[in-house]
Amino acid sequence: MKVPSTRWAFLLGFLVGMCCMYFSLQQVWFEQNYHVHSEAQETATVAGERPTSWRKEGGALLNLLLPHHPDEDSQVADMLSQRVRILCWVMTGPYNLQSRARHVRATWSRHCDVVLFMSSVEDPSFPTVGLGTKEGRDQLYWKTIQAFHYVYEHHMNQADWFLKADDDTFVVVDNLRWLLSNHTPEEPIYFGKRFKPYTKQGYMSGGAGYVLSKEALRRFVKGFRTKACTHTTPVEDLALGQCLEKMGVLAGDSRDTLHRETFHPFVPEHLLTTKFPKSFWYWSYCFYPIVEGPQCCSDLTVSFHYVEAELMYILEYYTYHLRAYGYVPRYLPSARRRQRLAPPLKAAKILNLKLAKGVKDKANHTASALVRENQAAEEKRAERGTEDNASFNLPINRTASRQGSHH
Amino acid sequence: MLSEGGSFIKGMLIGGIFCLVLSLLSSFSPVTESRTEEHHHHHVKAASKDELQQLSDSRLQELNNQLQVYCVIMVQPKNLLYWATALDTWTKHCDKAAFYTSESSKALEAINLKEKDDWVRLRKALKHAYENAGDIRWFFVAEPSTFAIIENLKYLVLTKDPEQPFYLGKAMKSGELEYVEFNSGIVLSYEALRRLVNVFPDEGKCPETGRALWKLSNDKQLAECLKFTGVFAENGEDVHGKDLFNSKGVESLIKESMKQNPNNVVEGCCSDMAITFSDMSPNQMQVMMFGVYRLRPYGHDFHDLLTFYPPKGSDND
């Protein structure tokens, strides 16, 4: 009697053990959700290094081959890039190379003709130019002055326009070329996000980036040579604006043909979804009327500010990669809507011929017309001088506002 | 007594180990089998540019005109912000967008199914969509926390015949069941929906109360019902094999890519022709709207072989 019962007990235990193990495995192993995807997916995600298409020259990166999408026809963009050469210099510092400047180097700066990363310290491997200044918020204007002088001395012949950006600014260089194609580098003019206080004609927000024509850069350097301009304040954007105003350089209107802003001092989420409170400083700073909601920003936006590392890549993805197949946008400046049934190649030729003509016509638009336009605008505005000392402290927090010292 | 107890425990241990060993051994063969299966049946890609260029202009135009998508969006008043965002953004690009709700909301209009159970609600919504389809032959089922680019969906199914059963999205495998994940959107052809609606009354194959001891999620229940009608889940991919239906948001995917492909973040991340993203905040969805339909670099043209015009009544696209 004893032997059979232990055997039964053993058998029962065996069955129970099997069942328990089966159920627990089912929960943990069998019923796990696996994604069904082809092997091609796995190879696609393990992408290797892209072939380098730029050349190091001293502290500068010269782009030999502007980035191209394999499926696209970039004839118009290429043509523009030959006519409108842009040198981009990025304000950065040794402590921000890995956290910020690196992502600028990997994304939008690849679309500039020449790129320079301006730091207080030289770093040949990044590469950065050493300006010989200290770091810190109070050094901003010093660094800007040194940077522009460096560009003037070493790279004047390599570009027509000279863009300054921060290491947390995202720039769509192709759209900057479109904006500038309406002007010539011999005009004394500069563009950016236009602010109105403390100057007659306004000045450009430093964080949103600003771009000087060749003539404007010449006059900036001349200003310092003749001592007409000096280091007045560390508030870089205001000081630069005041110097340029003194040297007869025009503050341009960078809005698109529908009067929508192209340079932005904030991230897209902030601009598209926030209703700014009426007490917000932005209302009294913007030169042009603020538009809230989707029309805040042009389709051909040039810049955003306060862009952190992930957002740099997200914006690069949104701008140059993600799209809606076949979608014809509402805003089609200086281009005719494509005929639906024309074979692709023919349509492209028609389109490009028309565009080439349109762009050439715009280039003949003279500076005098601009001056007239600017004067008319000026007459409409009351003078806002620097008499109001109480509010003079504001720009230090507003235009150059950043967390922590990192320049 | 003691010896019996001891034997019992010994039996249990050996039984457990036996089961483990058996499953380990058997686990090797099913994996290799299913891998070869996956290669042939479970991936749907868009037509390549070459394939499309072989079609005549008139055929392309015919396809362009006929291709319409009926969007079935399952909403609830508790997700009002997502509901409003979906209404304001991507759903405007559907040829027909129908919002099906569990209960009515004072703020927004929808087809009130007056049903608390989400599986029953989904069945009712799909039945309603089928009956009101008109000429529309493609159906896209989503929740408002999904963001979809309908033009890219049309591109994916352009050369696929809606009289064939198609059940597409982000395909997942759970045990033996392959299903399309709900939160990254489900695409059904007219034939697939027809078969589904016809199997709904069959309590044996497609019960309202669910078959298992525990309640299966809606996407798995849907897959079970469709399996009975001979319709199987397929993964939507682009020409490079990248997923078109994403169950994560663009920020998560970029962050992952920054870790895995630090030298090639954007190209190692998501498809250019992505159809859906999920798990994004309403504000991020507004930014995506701007990023997809508006923000672009001047002078770059794609010469797409289809043409989609902006819908009426919106200004954010």
Assembly ipTM: 0.88
Check pLDDT > 60 for residue A283. yes
Q: Are A220 and A181 a contacting pair, CB within 8 Å?
A: no
A56 touches chain B (CB under 8 A): no
A71 and B49 in contact by Cβ < 8 A? yes
Cα B40–B41–B45 angle (5° rounding)? 90
Q: Which of A249, A87, A240 is nearest to A153 (CA)?
A: A87
Give the end-to-end CA distance of chain B in Å, rounded to a whole number: 79
pLDDT of amino acid A385? 34
A242 pLDDT above the threshold of 70:
yes
C-beta atoms of A269 and B287 within 8 A:
yes
User: What is the per-residue pLDDT across A364-401, written as a single tens digit (0 to 9) for each?
Assistant: 344 334 434 444 443 444 333 333 333 323 333 333 33
SS3 for A225? helix
pLDDT (tens digit per residue) in A169-186: 999 999 999 999 999 999
pLDDT at B269: 95
Residue bearing the bigger pLDDT, A149 or B303: A149
> Looking at the predicted structure, is the pLDDT value of residue A222 above 80?
yes
The closest alpha carbon to A210, from A113, A91, A375, belongs to A91
Question: What residues in B contact A7, CB-CB < 8 Å?
Answer: 7
Contact A20, A13 (CB under 8 A): no
Q: What is the pLDDT of residue A49?
A: 44
Top-confidence residue, A352 or B20: B20
pLDDT digits (tens, 9 = 90+) for A90-138: 999 999 999 999 999 999 999 999 999 999 999 999 999 999 999 998 9
pLDDT at B213: 58
Comparing A9-18, A77-86, A119-128, the range with the smallest average pLDDT is: A9-18
Determine, for residues B39 and A273 on separate chains, whether the beta-carbon distance falls below 8 Å. Answer: no
Interface touch B295/A327, C-beta < 8 Å:
no
Distance between CA A236 and CA A138 in Å, rounded?
Answer: 9
Would the CB atoms of A323 and B269 count as touching at under 8 Å?
no
**Contact between B39 and A38 using a beta-carbon 8 Å cutoff:** yes
Q: Which residues of chain B have pLDDT under 70?
A: 1, 27-41, 210-214
Would you say A399 and A137 are in contact if contact means Cβ atoms under 8 Å apart? no
**b/e sequence B120-150, b meaning 16+ C-beta within 10 Å:** ebbbbbbebbbeebeebbbbbbbbbbbbbbb
Q: Would you state the pLDDT for residue B237?
A: 95
Alpha-carbon distance A6 to B275, whole Å?
63
CA–CA separation, A271 and A295 (whole Å): 9
Tell me the nearest-neighbour CA distance from A181 into chain B, angstroms: 11
Residue type (1 letter), A139: Q
Crossing angle (nearest 10°) for helices B250-260 and B282-293 = 80
pLDDT tens per residue across span A42-57: 544 444 445 567 888 8
Q: Which pLDDT score is estimated for A341?
A: 28
- Given a contact cutoff of 8 angstroms between Cβ atoms, the answer to whether A261 and A297 are in contact is yes
Lookup result for tokens 């969906």: B153
| Mean pLDDT across chain A | 81
Q: Does residue B175 come out as left (phi exceeding 0), alpha (psi in the -120 to 50 range) or beta?
A: left
Which residue on chain A is closest to B9 by alpha carbon? A13
Q: Count of A–B CB contacts within 8 Å?
A: 317
Q: Write down the H helix ranges in B140-281.
A: 150-157, 190-199, 218-228, 250-260
- The answer to whether residue A25 neighbours chain B at the CB level (below 8 Å) is yes
Is residue A308 pLDDT above 70, yes or no? yes
Could you give the CA distance from residue B234 to residue B172 in angstroms, rounded to a whole number?
Answer: 9
Query: Residue A14 — pLDDT band, cuts 50, 70, 90?
Result: confident
pLDDT of residue B24: 80
Residues of A in contact with B4 (CB under 8 A): 5-6, 9
